[in-house]
Amino acid sequence: MTHFNRVLIANRGEIAVRIIRACKEMNIETVAVYSTADKDSLHAALADYAICIGTGSPKDSYLNLERIMSTAVTLGVDAIHPGYGFLSENSRFAKMCEECGIIFIGPDSDAILNMGNKSIARELMKSSGVPVIPGSDGLIHDMDQALVVAKEIGFPVIIKASMGGGGKGMRIVNTFEDLSRFIDQAKNEAQNAFGDSSIYIEKYITESRHVEFQILADKHGNTIHLFDRECSIQRNNQKMIEEAPSSYISDVMRKNMGDSAVLAAKAIEYNSAGTVEFLVDNDNNYYFIEMNTRIQVEHPTTEMVTGIDLIKEQIKIARGDKLTINQEDVIIRGHSIECRINAEDPDNHFAPSAGTITDLHLPGGNGIRVDTHLYPGYKIPVYYDSMLCKIICWGNDRAEAIQKMKVALDELVVSGIKTNTSLQKRILSHPDFLAGEFNTNFVNKIIG
């Protein structure tokens, strides 16, 4: 086991604050890196050391591998935690850490590379016996190949970028006539977003649920899952509300999906915290869609129902500890729900809302958790993701968790900017949401 004296957090915002707090609880010194736009950010104030690494643009700061590595080497850190987003799933960055003798708090670079390429991941899962959605065998190289695949699996189909994420490089196609145009659009968008225009095609499941399983795997061959999260409440393929556990799947299905998630992790000799994501159709068939080789935004919902600190477990695994949790030790207690509060205006086509937080009141009480980097007077930079905070509520059952969330959202005050709080309240009060009768198209239907 390696002891960590000092960890650099290669991220910003609420996840950087979350990691810093976990490190402090483990008596580990922290190094924050920040951009000029984040000079007054909470994560920079809370860390033991804070180093400016560039201007506000992500490519000049949080995506600048060389500056981050230079800071890490200069300050003699033992490890780097990438959080989520930015460099968290960058295999080159993980490889640089390995070459510099700095531990990357995540899986090895090969696992990131294999799972980061969605078409490779799909083929790996298929060969390992994990269910995958019908689609192309590998990449689509030309229109003739695309036409053959579309004819074989039937419309609608979905074009996906191999290196995709966040809905980029994705197009739903309903007819042969649209196929060529949408392939060109998806390839161009993928090239601009990821520097890689490669695509593949899958059958598009029109009515589906998005259910994911949290994985923990150590470097000694031990792999467990921490059960499931329901992530079907999305807008433009971006999650808005997450729950643990899913109210949709049965106990038998949960067991089968959990076994498949563990099988997926073992297939790539995974070692870290990670998430295996599935789509579930109306006939209760489930299919692997991707594996996120990092901590997830929605990880607190799992922490609330299992009592397991995922960031601490991730750090322990990285330093070589064996898991002290067996599968039979993991028990779901109650129900948890998370709402992402974003700086955007739902009444104005979700336009970004920048500005200064003039007044702030965060909700509290039994079973209420808020993960955030906000404080009164904080000026929201225009360069980064719009998420301001995550409100997580725990209840004895789903109904109680939802009611607590409604109370928490009523109590929340974020003045000086627009937020999506009103839309979150609308979703939580919708009869279909309350009944658990929704899918990934739910939000688009209610906002028109």
**What range defines the domain where residue 141 resides?**
134-203
In sequence order, what E strands does 236-330 have? 238-244, 272-281, 286-292
Question: How far lies 444's CA from each of 146, 165, 345, 440, 441, in Å?
Answer: 28, 19, 16, 9, 6
Q: Can you give the pLDDT at residue 433?
A: 98
Query: Per the structure, how many domains does the chain have?
Result: 3
Q: Are 290 and 437 within one domain?
A: yes
Is the residue at 58 inside a domain? yes
Q: Are 199 and 212 within one domain?
A: no
Task: Please identify, among 149, 178, 203, the residue that sits at the C-terminal boundary of a domain.
Answer: 203
Instruction: Quote the CA–CA distance of 278 and 254 in Å, as a whole number.
Output: 12
Residues annotated as catalytic are 294
Question: And the tokens for 203?
Answer: 């059958």
Looking at residue 326, which CATH number applies to its domain?
A: 3.30.470.20
Q: Can you give the pLDDT at residue 168?
A: 81
Question: And the tokens for 13?
Answer: 């915002």
Q: Are 226 and 307 within one domain?
A: yes
State the DSSP string of 26-71.
Answer: TT-EEEEEEEGGGTT-HHHHHSSEEEEEE-SSGGGTTT-HHHHHHH
Nearest Cα to Cα of residue 220 among 299, 80, 319: 319
Is the residue at 359 inside a domain? yes
Q: Are 194 and 212 within one domain?
A: no
Residue with tokens 């839309």: 423
Nearest Cα to Cα of residue 90 among 228, 196, 183, 241: 196
Q: Are 174 and 290 within one domain?
A: no
Q: Are 183 and 233 within one domain?
A: no
Looking at residue 15, which CATH number applies to its domain?
A: 3.40.50.20
Looking at residue 142, which CATH number applies to its domain?
A: 3.30.1490.20
Is the residue at 124 inside a domain? no
Coil/strand/helix, residue 402: helix
Q: Residue 112 burial by CB count (10 A; 0-12/13-18/19+): exposed, middle or buried?
A: buried
Q: Are 179 and 315 within one domain?
A: no
72 Cβ neighbours under 8 A, 6+ residues apart: 8, 31, 80, 100, 102
Instruction: Quote the CA–CA distance of 367 and 244 in Å, as a whole number.
Output: 14
Q: Are 182 and 217 within one domain?
A: no
Q: Are 295 and 442 within one domain?
A: yes
**Contact 272/217 with Cβ under 8 angstroms?**
yes
The whole-angstrom distance between residue 16's C-alpha and the CA centroid of its chain comes to: 14
Is the residue at 125 inside a domain? no
Is the residue at 121 inside a domain? no
Is the residue at 122 inside a domain? no
Is the residue at 363 inside a domain? yes
Q: Are 388 and 293 within one domain?
A: yes
Q: Are 91 and 141 within one domain?
A: no
Q: Are 51 and 148 within one domain?
A: no
How much of the chain is in helix, strand and coil states, percent to nearest 5? Answer: 35, 25, 35
DSSP 8-state symbol, 416:
S
Question: And the tokens for 342?
Answer: 């974003």
Is the residue at 382 inside a domain? yes
Task: Please identify, among 169, 203, 237, the residue that sits at the C-terminal boundary of a domain.
Answer: 203
Sites in the chain below the pLDDT cut of 50: none
Instruction: Quote the CA–CA distance of 42 and 346 in Å, as a whole number.
Output: 27
pTM over 0.85: yes
Q: Can you give the pLDDT at residue 1?
A: 65
**Contact 338/405 with Cβ under 8 angstroms?**
no
Task: Please identify, among 176, 203, 230, the residue that sits at the C-terminal boundary of a domain.
Answer: 203
